[in-house]
Amino acid sequence: MRFKLLIIILLLSGSLSAQYLRKAVGLRGGLSSGITYQYFYQEDRDLKGLMSFRNQGLQITGLIEQYTPLELRFGDHFYAYYGFGAHIGYIHVPSDQWLGYNQYPYEYHNYGGRFVIGGDGIVGAEYRVFVVPLTFGIDYKPFFELFGYDIFRLAMGDFALTIKYNF
Q: 139 with 107: CB under 8 angstroms?
A: no
What CATH number has the domain bearing residue 101? 2.40.160
Q: Is residue 70 part of a domain?
A: yes
Structural domain boundaries enclosing 112: 22-166
Q: Is residue 8 part of a domain?
A: no
Q: Is residue 79 part of a domain?
A: yes
Q: Is residue 71 part of a domain?
A: yes
Number of domains in the chain: 1
The predicted structure's pLDDT at residue 21: 52
The pTM (predicted TM-score) of the whole model is: 0.76
Q: Is residue 4 part of a domain?
A: no
Report percent pLDDT > 90 for the chain. Answer: 58
- Predicted confidence band at 15 (pLDDT cuts at 50, 70, 90)? very low
Phi-psi category of residue 41: left, alpha or beta, with phi > 0 → left and psi -120 to 50 → alpha: alpha
pLDDT digit string (tens) for 29-44? 999 999 999 999 999 9
Is residue 4 predicted with pLDDT exceeding 80? Answer: no
